[in-house]
Amino acid sequence: MKFTHLLGAAALSFGTMFSGATFAADINGAGASFPAPVYQAWAAAYKEKTGTGLNYQSIGSGGGQNQIVNRTVDFGASDAPMKDDKLESANLLQFPTVIGSVVAIVNLGEDHALTLNGAIIADIYQGKITKWNDPKIVALNKDAKLPDLAIVPVYRSDSSGTSFVFTSYLSSASADWKSGVGAATSVQWPAGAGAKGNEGVAGTVKNTKGAIGYVEFIYAAANKLATTDLVNKAGKVVKPGTETFMEAAAAADWKGAKNFAASMIDTAGEGAWPITSATYILLPKNPTSAEQSAAAIKFFDWAYSAEGDAIAEKLHYIPLPDSVVAEIKKAWADEVKVDGKAVWTN
């Protein structure tokens, strides 16, 4: 699958905008903390380039969905794809921006090259494995001297797309988890302690010896937290990184996905990272302001450029395949309208 390559400067194509539009100084969005680092980096670069600002509130996917349904922001952001019937009833267009990954982070008090699998992580979060020297963990880490230390699972206390991605992975890896807990933006966690946002989970793990948590990869990198390797669907031990994320993304069924909701959880491929996902924007198909809607689309059109891709890759996100971007731009032109007139023409 062809991905955007960042070779040299590329001309920016903003499209032909709504006739006579005067764009507002600021675009307002809210939602997922998973992509917040790249949205904030894009916002700074776009402000410098165009003078147009973006105010993005990292409040979690559930909050982002609620705010856009209530039309209190120009766009919502969610890691969990919104259900088809809710998209229809709220008259929303859903499209992905970048591909990211969720990683398991640990604090064992010292560096350990640790390998886990989905079944073990599910048992930890169900309270079935409570010590780091449990025989199941030792069996995957025969060369490591694991401590006789209590495990402290940390999870998201807010409604979270990161939790949806993580619990989708646990449901894929563990039949007990799938039947007993399931996959959702908010679940009844059998064990552990809650923290708000990717930031909160990262901070709690960093400050708690014996803790394990899950965050988007950039939060682990920014906080210099130890990440675990994982055993993927092919039975191979893989490390989190651009190559393993890209292999997972390349295996996704984009053409067969409705509303661009292509799953990348535990995809096939020897080098695929098993907890990979796109993150999504929710945009009204019937905006109250053509100018604000066009300004938001213009921002995301720039984000898909070579310049936007370079910023995303620097933060360990994966740009979308070119073919998917083309379909997104077609959807903007076809589906976002005011009084029957397209806000954007591709």
Place of tokens 């390998």: 115
Asked whether the whole model's pTM tops 0.75, one would answer yes
**Predicted pLDDT of residue 109:** 84
Residue 95 and residue 328 in contact, taking contact as beta carbons nearer than 8 Å? yes
Distance between CA atoms of 77 and 127, rounded to whole angstroms?
32
In this predicted structure, the answer to whether residue 345 has a pLDDT above a threshold of 70 is yes
**Predicted pLDDT of residue 13:** 30
46's CB contacts (< 8 A; 6+ apart) are 52, 54, 299, 302, 303
**Predicted pLDDT of residue 223:** 84
As a whole number of Å, the end-to-end CA separation of the chain is 23
Binning pLDDT at 50, 70 and 90, where does residue 334 land?
A: very high
**Predicted pLDDT of residue 236:** 96
pLDDT tens-digit profile of 148-200? 999 999 999 998 889 999 999 999 999 999 999 999 989 999 999 999 988 99
Instruction: Kindly report the average pLDDT of the chain as a whole number.
Output: 90
**Predicted pLDDT of residue 25:** 58
pLDDT tens-digit profile of 49-96? 999 999 999 998 999 999 999 999 999 999 989 999 999 999 999 999
In this predicted structure, the answer to whether residue 24 has a pLDDT above a threshold of 80 is no
**Amino acid letter, 167:** T
Distance between CA atoms of 275 and 209, rounded to whole angstroms?
24
The full set of domains in the chain, from first to last, is 16-100+275-345 (3.40.190.10), 102-243 (3.40.190.10)
Q: Pick the residue with more confidence: 136 or 13?
A: 136
In this predicted structure, the answer to whether residue 17 has a pLDDT above a threshold of 60 is no
41's CB contacts (< 8 A; 6+ apart) are 311, 314, 315
Residue 159 and residue 33 in contact, taking contact as beta carbons nearer than 8 Å? no
Per-residue DSSP letter, 79 = S
In this predicted structure, the answer to whether residue 298 has a pLDDT above a threshold of 90 is yes
pLDDT tens-digit profile of 86-113? 999 999 999 999 999 999 999 998 777 8
**Predicted pLDDT of residue 314:** 93
Distance between CA atoms of 43 and 91, rounded to whole angstroms?
26
Rg (the chain; Cα; Å): 20
Residue 155 and residue 200 in contact, taking contact as beta carbons nearer than 8 Å? no
Question: What letters, b where the CB count within 10 A reaches 16 and e where it falls short, cover 252-281?
Answer: bebeeeebbbbbbbbbebebbbbbbbbbbb
